[in-house]
Amino acid sequence: MDLPITRPSQMSYGDEIDFNDLLDKLRSKRFNGFIRVTHGKSEGYILLKNGMERASSFDDYSKMEALQKIKSIVNDNKTLIEVFDIKESHMKYLMDLNKFFVIDSDSKVENILQDLKKNKTQQNTSASSPSTALNELKSSEVPGSIDNHVEIVKEQETVNAEIKNEIISEEKDEVIEEVDESLEEMKNISEDKTHPLDKNSEPGTSTLEVEEIRVPATEGINKENNKEVEDIEPEYQNELKEPDFGMESVKRKNIMKKYGLKDVGEKEVDDILETYKGGILSDDDVEKIELNLMNKIKKSTLGIPKIKGTEVMVFLDNDSELSGIINIITEYESRSLFSRIRGESKDIQNIRRQITNIAQMEIKKSFRGYHEIIDVIEINVEIS
Amino acid sequence: MTRVISIASGKGGVGKTTITANLGVALSTYGEETIVLDADVAMANLELILGMEGKSITLHDVLSGEASIEDAIYEGPGGVKVVPAGISLEGLRKVRLDRLEGALETIVENADILLIDAPAGLEKDALAAIAAAQEMILVTTPEVPSISDALKTKIVANKLGVEIIGVIVNREQHDKTFLTIDEIETILEIPVISVIPDDPEVSRAAAFGEPLVVKNPKSPTSNAIMQLGADLIGEEYHPIEPDKKGVIAKLVEGLLGRRG
């Protein structure tokens, strides 16, 4: 199926989670998105709209066959199960895009998924026969047997009361179908899982009675499971912060793929902009250059005969364009009292020129290929 | 306040300069004080399209520090002001792009709209032209390489904080091998503000050194550019319908030498 693969909101291996629980949770959340199931080289998808399975694919299989294939591998420890969120408003587009995989409304998807649920229930309870389940459900319809009903709900580890009621009504439908055809109408109502119980508006039916009894009975479980719900909440809150990879992004992705186009990476853009700026110098870089220049100029200046000592100060300004000032203070040993009285000799001028040249040469060496920098760095030489 | 709009493309040869020149003339005809600046200092040809080649002082001289920007502004067709880049390779060596910003500050004082014809690519000169503007119009053809480069340019412009007005799809042909307008909008994630059809009149006008909106205002391209200009400034434009003379009437006119 063509689906937008983004960061999954949930990810686990088949042996780490119960696939039925996952489906139940997603159903209770009226989840919009899809599940990706990866097993070796095989890959399957189940598209869920309002928590309901609407389309499915598994390798070359589609629809029901795909669901069956997925069902057969979901408990394997080598199966990776990932959940991806999609905005509700984008579901129609995805359904259209994957219409080949859309499960027909009259298909037996419910049976397959309920098979999965039944298997789970059978594993957890000793009562594995349909008649036992029927007994349980039947007894749950009697006000006096609420405890039995609660036990079933607990076994199913549902998140909240809504999903518990939903699952129970589904199970009940299945059993009723086998046992009592007269309850066919009730089954049809409860098959609509969007609002499994809300839609049952006929007063006096057994379903309503069950609902009336179940609501108080599951309150305790709700509290018990509130912690679980709270654990899930932050996960979903994080998902909300994710960027919107909706219909437009899927469409864009497909077009980009069609024409072999790729988005420009952040790094590439930064590289382009770095070229524009002529290389970005951080404050740390500037400090290093200052220190380096200072040492080099000092070392070269001390190589001049009769220079007793020298101090170099480099101040670079990296605001808009690199510029700066270099102050060099040098002690020249031949400066006698007589020379000082006489004023600046030619020797001093030569020394000053020599030091300036040295400084310029060191700057050029430090900024190879950008000799124009000489024009923007002021060099002051003071000889004492 | 002066609007500074750069016309950029990423890929070269998509008709950016032609659109800039004609859009400048179009805006001038609407009464907007418009300056068109050719920032393509290496491959300048705006002046060729507008028939203004051979000007003594150009942007080259300004960026070389040898002339002030005021001296490089010339009046072009339809009253549009033009700053030619100059076609001197000799002057190119002295060009300093950081002077562009200073030059722009001076010329925007006397203009309503400044259009900058940015060089192709994303080299330093192109980026300087894009960054100097507040707004940008992308030009692309409906071909994959052109869209790819436009996408890159758009992302870089976004990073530079330039507002992108939209994309002009130039040389549109009703050919299935090219991208559709919808696909271009989806890929670039910006609106297509004008679709200019593939029009041989454009090359003909360039050969004459005359902007198409002046030489052939009835052509589909002229109408599209005039409409774009009107949209940019919130004016209304009523397309000029081409003459619907019969073939025989045209032939007779031709034979009588009255074609014009």
How many CB atoms are closer than 10 A to CB B132? 22
Spell out where chain A has E strands: 10-13, 33-39, 42-49, 52-58, 61-62, 79-85, 307-317, 323-332, 377-383
Does position B242 have pLDDT exceeding 60, yes or no?
A: yes
B147 with A263: Cβ contact below 8 A: no
Amino acid at A137: L
B147 with A252: Cβ contact below 8 A: no
Nearest to B171 by CA among B13, B61, B33: B13
Mean pLDDT comparison of A154-163, A196-205, A219-228, A343-352, highest-scoring range:
A343-352
Q: Nearest C-alpha of chain B: how many angstroms from A92? A: 18
More confident residue, B87 or A229: B87
Does position B51 have pLDDT exceeding 90, yes or no?
A: no
More confident residue, A236 or A365: A365
Nearest to B165 by CA among B145, B139, B146, B196: B139
- Which positions in chain B have a beta carbon within 8 angstroms of at least one beta carbon in chain A? 98, 122-124, 127-128, 131, 144, 147-148, 151-152, 155-156, 159-160, 179, 183, 186-187, 189
Does position B60 have pLDDT exceeding 90, yes or no?
A: no
Mean pLDDT comparison of A157-171, A198-212, A301-315, B237-251, highest-scoring range:
A301-315
B189 with A259: Cβ contact below 8 A: no
Per DSSP, the three-state class of A26 is helix
* A376 touches B: beta carbon within 8 Å: no
Give the best residue of A276, A321, A371 to mutate against chain B (max B CB count within 10 A): A276
CA-based radius of gyration for chain A: 39
Quickly tell me which residue has 């300087």 as its tokens. Answer: B128
Nearest to A182 by CA among A199, A206, A159, A200: A206
In this complex, the residue of B124, B179, B187 whose CB is nearest that of residue A276 is B124
Q: How confident is the model at residue B167 (pLDDT cuts 50, 70, 90)?
A: very high
A278 with B147: Cβ contact below 8 A: no
Quickly tell me which residue has 């014009």 as its tokens. Answer: B260
Q: What is the mean pLDDT of residues B108-122?
A: 89
**Cα(A24)–Cα(A204) distance, integer angstroms:** 28
In this complex, the residue of B98, B124, B189 whose CB is nearest that of residue A275 is B124
* A338 touches B: beta carbon within 8 Å: no
Predicted local confidence at residue A193, as pLDDT? 40
B159 with A256: Cβ contact below 8 A: no
What are residue A205's phi and psi, to 5 degrees?
-75, 160
B187 with A255: Cβ contact below 8 A: yes
Does position A169 have pLDDT exceeding 60, yes or no?
A: no
B124 with A255: Cβ contact below 8 A: no
Does position A24 have pLDDT exceeding 80, yes or no?
A: yes
The answer to whether the beta carbons of residues B55 and B84 sit under 8 Å apart is: yes
Predicted local confidence at residue B247, as pLDDT? 64
Q: What is the share, in percent, of chain A residues with pLDDT greater than 90? A: 3
Predicted local confidence at residue B125, as pLDDT? 80
The size of chain A, in residues, is 384
**Cα(A81)–Cα(A67) distance, integer angstroms:** 14
Sign of CA dihedral B119, A280, B159, B184: positive
Quickly tell me which residue has 């004609």 as its tokens. Answer: B22
The answer to whether the beta carbons of residues B23 and B225 sit under 8 Å apart is: yes
Q: How confident is the model at residue A159 (pLDDT cuts 50, 70, 90)?
A: very low
Q: Which two tokens stand for residue A373?
A: 């920098």
User: Could you tell me whether strands A52-58 and A79-85 are parallel, antiparallel, or unpaired per DSSP bridges?
Assistant: unpaired
pLDDT tens per residue, range A179-199: 445 445 444 444 444 333 333
Does position B89 have pLDDT exceeding 80, yes or no?
A: no
The answer to whether the beta carbons of residues A218 and A150 sit under 8 Å apart is: yes
Q: Nearest C-alpha of chain B: how many angstroms from A302? A: 37
Give the best residue of A255, A321, A375 to mutate against chain B (max B CB count within 10 A): A255
Does position B71 have pLDDT exceeding 80, yes or no?
A: yes
**Cα(A221)–Cα(A244) distance, integer angstroms:** 35
User: Could you tell me whether strands B81-83 and B34-38 are parallel, antiparallel, or unpaired per DSSP bridges?
Assistant: parallel
In this complex, the residue of B159, B160, B186 whose CB is nearest that of residue A255 is B186
Chain B residues within an 8 Å CB radius of A276: 124, 127-128, 131
Query: How many CB pairs below 8 A link A and B?
Result: 49
Q: What is the mean pLDDT of residues A354-381?
A: 82
Q: Nearest C-alpha of chain A: how many angstroms from B123? A: 7
The answer to whether the beta carbons of residues A52 and A27 sit under 8 Å apart is: yes
Predicted local confidence at residue B23, as pLDDT? 96
**Cα(A291)–Cα(A151) distance, integer angstroms:** 77
pTM of the prediction?
0.50
Q: What is the mean pLDDT of residues A239-253?
A: 63
- Burial class of residue B169 (count of CB atoms within 10 Å of its CB; 0-12, 13-18, 19+): buried
Predicted local confidence at residue B117, as pLDDT? 93
